[in-house]
Chain A
């Protein structure tokens, strides 16, 4: 099967615009949670798109377009003809899609009747809008679709792109996730499930953790066959070495407490990469700060990595930017690629009182360099799990 490399990354997150902003600020220990949420407060859609494009896009699509712009520019793919457009695709995950559009049109429907519902309601709220908008902007004619698997969607989109390139269906795919669900309905719904933090604090693996903090944003990777990147002289930032995805089939929202599905996904990703637990140097955890996830994920890591689990750093980006739902896996993949480049495990912030039952090395408070054995590149797994029992794990490798 063909090797797949990462030739561009992009992100818009609560830490600011840009993948490097994300990496540097997380590594520096900056927490973007404000008032129990993590919005992309400074995001200006018009900095990367026309007024027309912006009004044709729900906020989740605007975030996707802005992250895609950074990734495509970084990959040198904004020039027409660098790669034939028939060979480039776009796959974007989202947990919910254009929720704000849905809510505002529902309000119009109730207040002013059916004739007040916008003709743009459906094209803005549909979950595939992010993938379609990116294809439209760059004229991409290859595979294009959305991926829906709740908080695993970003990682599943990246995994689907890996398979499409390996199989020869495309040479390049811009893949990632986007979410903008800081809306009244979404807040109320997650609160009704008791999923969000009452304290408004994201502190994964801490004994006081009481739920996730919702954030918004987008992360995008340009994935490319190694041959294509080499032929056009693009310098890889890293390699997507493996992918594993499974389902718990245990409960609609709760993870399997034994972490069996997550462990199978980790093991499948390692097998796909052709490596064992010793080939991993860092774990970018799903680490939501919910009581159930952090416990089940710890069990899953021990089951799948054995003794190696206790020897490597495990940290959660959600401690810095909250939970970006369907964008989380993609933003975390971007952060992991840059962490591998610098061989630094960024910190799990807010972890001050360890849970006595959770005994891995969660890199509390401060970033730390990690060792990589001589003769091989640095590697990490990035875990994503979602309501519905979805598990998606990526194996990423430094260039």
Chain B
């Protein structure tokens, strides 16, 4: 499914931010360069994030993708590339 015509970086970022906040991360620290490690976001959180992303944008992030993604910005740009 390609929906990139309608998806904006702001929208993707908001979905990612909302998900991270619901996982218990501190929103005041959110920025594109923030690492998941510094937010105490671990592999289980990222598995949940990939589920949210699949529901919202139809983008499937696999295990290899998640290993490569280290920051919020990495996640947003990977989702934008695939959407």
Contacts and interface: CB of A to CB of B under 8 A. Distances in A.
Q: Which of under 10, 10 to 19, 20 to 34, or 35 or more describes the interface residues of B?
A: under 10
Interface in B21-79: 23-25, 40, 44, 47-48, 51, 54
Contact of B24 (A50, A115, A123): A50
Interface in A46-79: 50-53, 55-56
B54 A55 contact: no
State the main secondary structure of chain A at its contact with B. Answer: helix
B54 A115 contact: yes
B44 A120 contact: yes
A233 interface: no
Contacts of B47: 119
A118 interface: yes
A115 B51 contact: yes
B24 A119 contact: no
Nearest to A112: B55
Interface string A92-125: 0000000000000000000000011011100100
A56 B48 CA distance: 12
Contacts, number: 22
A123 B54 contact: no
B44 A52 contact: no
Contacts of A119: 44, 47-48, 51
B27 to A, nearest CB: 12
Contacts of B40: 52
Contacts of A123: 44
A55 B47 CA distance: 14
A120 B47 CA distance: 9
Contacts of B48: 118-120
A50 to B, nearest CB: 6
Contacts of B51: 115-116, 118-119
Nearest to A54: B24
Nearest to B43: A119
Contacts of A52: 23-25, 40
Nearest to B44: A119
B69 to A, nearest CB: 16
A119 B54 CA distance: 14
Interface string A249-278: 000000000000000000000000000000
Contacts of B44: 56, 119-120, 123
B54 A51 contact: no
A115 B58 CA distance: 12
Interface in A22-66: 50-53, 55-56
Interface in A305-324: none
Interface of A: 50-53, 55-56, 115-116, 118-120, 123
12 contacts: A50-B24, A52-B23, A52-B24, A52-B40, A53-B24, A115-B51, A116-B51, A118-B48, A119-B44, A119-B47, A120-B44, A123-B44
Task: List the 8 closest pairs (A to B, CB-CB), nearest first.
Answer: A52-B24, A119-B47, A51-B24, A119-B48, A119-B44, A55-B24, A50-B24, A120-B44
